[in-house]
Amino acid sequence: MSMALFERFAPQVETFVKVCHRLAHNLYVTGHGGNLAWKLDADVLLITPTRMYKGDITPEDVVFVDTSGEVIEGIRRPTGELPMYLKFFAERPDVASVIHCHPPHACALAIARGKNWLMRPLYPETITEVGPVPVVPYAEPLTEELARNFSPFLQKYNSFIMENHGLVTMSRGDIRWTLMNVELLEVTAQSVLLALQAGYEIKELDREAVRRLGNVMRTRSLPLVGAPGVNQSLEELYFNVES
């Protein structure tokens, strides 16, 4: 089998493997759980193999597939969640990388009943870089049904709590940027749970504070979450009002 893509994208493969290892070190993935993908060219996706602990993955284990899901380089089979990733990249062509993992505090919210605090404006960085995080209804893993359940949410949001399952985060940035957003979201979820555990009420930022965070977005050249043109402002995202 030709190894041209492994040679062409050697730096990206190295970065991809480091992100796999960091997810494992953080205990954001355990066992064979979790997977990630990075769109490196118009018809080239770098993706994790099936049934491997991410802490053990080496550059030789990763797989290159095309946007129809066919393996184009690699000795292993791609993750069984491939249908989900193909849907993501097809319906969100602006997205460059996606991570599905099971960070413990975000996943606590995936099994909790009650208000989804990750939809609310709590911290400036989480608001501007991750955005609101809706709950995608449960479906059997590795199925087309699970992929379809994302449809109502994919255009508007970049991060998703999978009910009774885990977390998906995507971005227009490289796989490292998406990992940083995962870590930011996990710490936000941890803060929520610590405040609730201590018996405190959660304090949100108000509408004016969120509106003014648009200044931060412009200063840092941050794109609004969601597909281009779908969302008009942070205020609209969090308060469902016109800009």
Which residues are known to be catalytic? 81
Strand partners for 76: none
Among 93, 103, 92, smallest CA distance to 180 is for 103
Among 167, 216, 148, smallest CA distance to 28 is for 167
Helices (H) and strands (E) in the chain, counts: 10, 8
CA–CA dist 128, 123 (Å, integer): 9
Backbone angles phi and psi of 64, in degrees to 5: -105, 130
CA–CA dist 118, 112 (Å, integer): 12
- Give the strand pairing for 44-47 and 63-65: antiparallel
Q: Token digits for 18?
A: 């480091």
- Fill in the amino acid letter for 103: P
For the beta carbon of residue 212, count every other beta carbon within 10 angstroms.
13
